[in-house]
A and B are shown apart, each in its own frame.
Chain A
Amino acid sequence: MLLSIAWKNVWRNKLRSLIVIIAISLGLVGGIFSAAVMKGAAKDGVRGMIDNYISEIQIHQPLFKLNNETKYHIKNSNEFEKNIKNIEGVKSVSSRLKVTGMASSANSAVGVSINGINPEQEKLVTTIYKNILDSSGTYFETKSRNPAIISKRLAEKLKLRLRSKIILTFPTSDGSQIETAFKIIGVFKTTNSTYDKLNIYVNKSDLARLTGYSEDVSQEIAIRINKEASIDSIKSKISKNDSTLLVETWKDLVPTLAMSSGIMDQMILVFLIIILMALGFGIVNTMLMVVLERIKEIGMLMAVGMSKIRIFFMIMFETIFLSLVGGVIGMSISAVLIGYYNINGITFSGLDEAFEKFGYPTTIYPELEPTVYFTLSFLIILTGIIASIYPARKALKLNPVEALRSDA
């Protein structure tokens, strides 16, 4: 009975209720959708970083990580690589000869990380090959002496073009420096400008020859794993294989990336709570109007024997219903919008530059875990309950005689 009266009371002043409901829905659509965009962006950003650069797991000599010196390498890396490939859940492996050096053109010079790779293997690990720009060459398919792939950003910085020569200076195995010309046969671009500027890809065989290392040596082994596989169990299996090596997951490698997705969830929650609080004030205001309008009716209800508790709950239920209707509409619209853009993507043109700086993709596929809707439903009900307390207390303070006598 109380519930049914409360529900019917919501629709007494249809216009006013609709305005509140629309406000709640719009507020929530705005909040939920932006949350999904943030979440989608963060997730795509993480995915992009893993796909293009860092992979799920990387292996180094601990000292190589510390000072990037080439001499701290993994010996017998082909054998080691085979062992890793045998671990269940490992999808692909690439072992790289990696040196830190200088890239220079007639115009300028910058420090770079030179990755000596086996292109066929590397294709199974990183997606740089997919990011070769149109009419900007190929991924090691063009025949050339000392071919190199560099990013568009580095090319721009050094004022180089496809088929230009790029001079790479790097240390050899005996500690001396070597300066060699490479030919740019491909230009790529990913969403992460920092990594783009830093990395150059050359054939492992070329780099081995020039540095004097064997091709069975590598400074870095990158590992991709299957979707369902457990990254931590694979990590520990690799560590067992050779305990002297440093085995790191992407979370270890780029802690900020892992952290940002955790922080994101909390931020989204805080963000939604703030929106609900703002809406809550609007609800309080509306319910105060409701109580004021119904002073006589509430007085009558008290007079004929409706207890204060019941009156309190009647107003609380009405507030909850009002909030929930708005909430359900808002969440439904959000779910539909998110569903649509999750498939079709949203492109934020104009913001490309800013997004890329942080390693975020320019086309975003918003997404939100279904659990967020449950949390939200709970929060909306809570908002209704909290928003009803003040108006309901106002109603309880009424004295039936005065309420019935009032002119309202």
Chain B
Amino acid sequence: MKIIEVKNLNKIYHEGEINVHAVRGIDLVIEQGEFTAIVGPSGSGKTTLLNMIGGLDNPTEGEIVIDEINIGNLKSSQLTDFRMKNIGFVFQAYNLIPVLTAKENVEFIMHLQGKSKKERADRAIQLLEEVGLGERVNSRPSKLSGGQQQRVAVARALASKPKFILADEPTANLDSESTANLLDIMEKLNREENITFIFSTHDARVVNKARRVITIDDGKIMSDITK
């Protein structure tokens, strides 16, 4: 089942007199259950592409259809709501609210969605157990390692039962052990619960775990290989 369709996507940044063509005419379809890496050199447009797919940035041209909704037609407030209900985000850093515990951070999105207290608490604990943090539910982010924080972020991203999870360089700040660990968890969630992951990375070991690898350079897709 097709969940994302990207058609002729272009993004031009205007930096003073200079125009930066960060994404040049990308067409892309993502199916439910994919485990896809977007790779490419620095400045190739990975973040720009993911931000547009996630409804964080507006394309200069082209459209993005998620589950039959053209997100370019949504107003800013509708888009915020759309992101909350449909997309899970994992960023490189600053994913968590520092004053909340791991469990509260995971509950946060469900709170925005208006879920009941019991449902929130149960699901938060279940998700934290799934990412291997059942013991640390009451720790604040500052008491967790970088890898643990990213696992909380994954649990948080899952909490809203999104259609897919976008992760822009989720392992960029992690050592190799934590990287492997995070990837294992993501892969397991993908395999066992059919959760769609789209992540960007520089790291060859991360790329190796992906089942589909989309290579972009200078804002264009150079290759798209499904193993």
Interface residues of A (CB under 8 A from B): 1, 5, 8-9, 11-12, 296-297, 299-308, 310, 400-401, 404-405
Contacts and interface: CB of A to CB of B under 8 A. Distances in A.
A interface, by DSSP: helix, strand, loop or mixed? helix
Contacts of B160: 305
Contact of A297 (B80, B84, B98, B111): B98
B111 A401 contact: no
Contacts of B156: 304
A5 B99 contact: yes
Contacts, number: 60
Given A400-B56, A401-B51, A401-B56, A303 B89 contact: yes
A304 B56 contact: no
A304 B84 contact: yes
Contact of A9 (B93, B94, B99): B99
B94 A305 contact: no
Contacts of A305: 80-81, 83-85, 109, 112, 160
Interface string B136-161: 00000000000000000000110010
Contacts of A5: 97, 99-100
B108 interface: yes
A307 B91 contact: no
A306 B112 CA distance: 7
15 contacts: A1-B107, A1-B108, A8-B100, A9-B99, A302-B80, A303-B56, A303-B83, A305-B80, A305-B81, A305-B160, A306-B80, A306-B84, A307-B112, A310-B112, A404-B91
Contacts of A303: 54, 56, 83, 89, 91
Interface string B78-92: 001101110001010
Interface of B: 47, 51, 54, 56-57, 77, 80-81, 83-85, 89, 91, 93-95, 97-100, 107-109, 111-112, 156-157, 160
A365 B112 CA distance: 54
Contact of A1 (B51, B83, B84, B111): B111
Nearest to B160: A305
A401 B108 contact: no
Contact of B97 (A301, A302, A308, A405): A301
Given A8-B99, A305-B112, A404 B94 contact: yes
B91 A300 contact: yes
Contacts of A1: 107-108, 111
A307 B94 contact: no
Nearest to A305: B84
Contacts of A308: 77, 80
A400 B108 CA distance: 18
A401 B91 CA distance: 11
Contacts of B85: 305
B99 A307 contact: no
Contacts of A9: 99
A16 to B, nearest CB: 15
Q: Which of A297, A308, A405 has the most CB of B within 10 A?
A: A297
A1 B108 CA distance: 8
Given A5-B99, A401-B51, A300 B94 contact: yes
Nearest to A8: B99
A296 to B, nearest CB: 4
A260 B85 CA distance: 63
B108 A307 contact: no
Contacts of A12: 98-99
Given A1-B108, A303-B83, A305-B81, 19 more contacts: A1-B107, A5-B100, A12-B98, A296-B94, A297-B94, A297-B97, A299-B94, A300-B91, A302-B80, A304-B83, A304-B84, A305-B112, A306-B112, A307-B80, A307-B81, A308-B77, A310-B112, A401-B51, A401-B57
Contacts of A401: 51, 56-57
Q: Which of B47, B85, B89, B157 has the most CB of A within 10 A?
A: B89
A296 B98 CA distance: 12
Contacts of A300: 89, 91, 94-95
A148 B68 CA distance: 106
A305 B84 CA distance: 4
